[in-house]
Amino acid sequence: MSALLKYLVPFALGVAVLAAWQGLVRFYQVPVYLLPAPSDVWAAFVASFPELMSALWVTLRIVVAAFVIAAVSGVFWAILFAQSRVVEMALYPYAVALQVTPVVAIAPLIVILVGFDRIDLALLIIAWIVAFFPILANTTIGLRSADSNLTDLFRLYGASRWQILWRLQLPSALPYLLGALKVSGGLSLIGVIVAEFVAGTGTDTGLGWTITQAMRNLEIAKMFAALGLLALFGIALFAALSALEFALLHKWHESALKKQGGEFSSG
């Protein structure tokens, strides 16, 4: 299948669905407060453009910040876990507890603890909670998955802990970490939106709040516009992380290699 076709097919499908949506809504004269036509959504998007953009900016900032903090702290703790079984034994159950407790349930507590005057910080913490664990769990496994013979070889050559970590364990963990980043990117977005739903308005207004407000005012077209923007943002985040993954892995990792037609020699 050619590269052009790969993009053309889903694009054509999208256009067809939008056209059918537009046609059906107009044909059956569905009221705009139930299901707006794509043209209504577009009109709402253009009309509320400055408001939507500023809301996107608020959400985006927190998502990216929470994601980066989750990535850095997740890798940091994974390294500690990989260095010491005792540290892992002591802390892992709590990391799991943090993960399995539904974030919607913790969110109000965090908002109260942090205070309504610092909603941004509350959103950041909530998004961090959901994005942190996949990075911690996967990176820990990745660090431990270093080839045992290679580890022996490093020891034989008198490698320090630091050399083993930097030259062997971290590169071995890289595919696991990058997989986790793709999951956590989406999760931090979900985390911020859920937190906005729970927290209500803060000093700034993000996309999550825009959506709840639009729903209350029955501005369904604007709600769709905000939803579309969220989806685009999520896709862009995923695409950026996939590009990062490809850049770092395509030269050596199986997951990024093209299948060589029926060739077994490269075992």
Interface residues with other proteins (CB under 8 A) are: 147, 149-150, 152-159, 163, 167-168, 171, 174, 251-254, 257, 265-267
CB of 150 to other proteins, least distance (A): 5
**Nearer residue to other proteins within complex by CB, 6 or 155:** 155
**Nearer residue to other proteins within complex by CB, 216 or 259:** 259
CB of 137 to other proteins, least distance (A): 22
Write down the residue that tokens 């850049």 correspond to.
Answer: 247
In the structure encoding, which two tokens stand for residue 17, read together? Answer: 């669905």
Q: Which candidate, 221, 218, 230, 222, places its Cα nearest to that of 194?
A: 230
Backbone angles phi, psi at 44, to 5 degrees: -65, -40
**Nearer residue to other proteins within complex by CB, 68 or 147:** 147
Q: Which candidate, 197, 202, 203, 211, places its Cα nearest to that of 107?
A: 197
CA 30, 35, 39, 45 dihedral sign is positive
CB of 142 to other proteins, least distance (A): 12
Own/partner contacts of 101-104, CB < 8 Å, gap of 24 or more, are: 103/129, 103/130, 103/191, 103/194, 103/195, 104/194, 104/198
**Residue 250 per-residue DSSP state:** T
**Nearer residue to other proteins within complex by CB, 118 or 253:** 253
Measured distance CA(44)–CA(72) in Å, rounded: 39
**Nearer residue to other proteins within complex by CB, 172 or 205:** 172
Contact 222, 48 (CB under 8 A): yes
Q: How many CB atoms lie within 10 A of CB 55?
A: 24
**Nearer residue to other proteins within complex by CB, 3 or 156:** 156
CB of 267 to other proteins, least distance (A): 7
**Nearer residue to other proteins within complex by CB, 91 or 141:** 141
134 Cβ contact partners less than 8 Å away, ≥ 6 residues apart: 74, 180, 183, 184, 187
CB of 255 to other proteins, least distance (A): 12
CB of 31 to other proteins, least distance (A): 58
CB of 151 to other proteins, least distance (A): 10
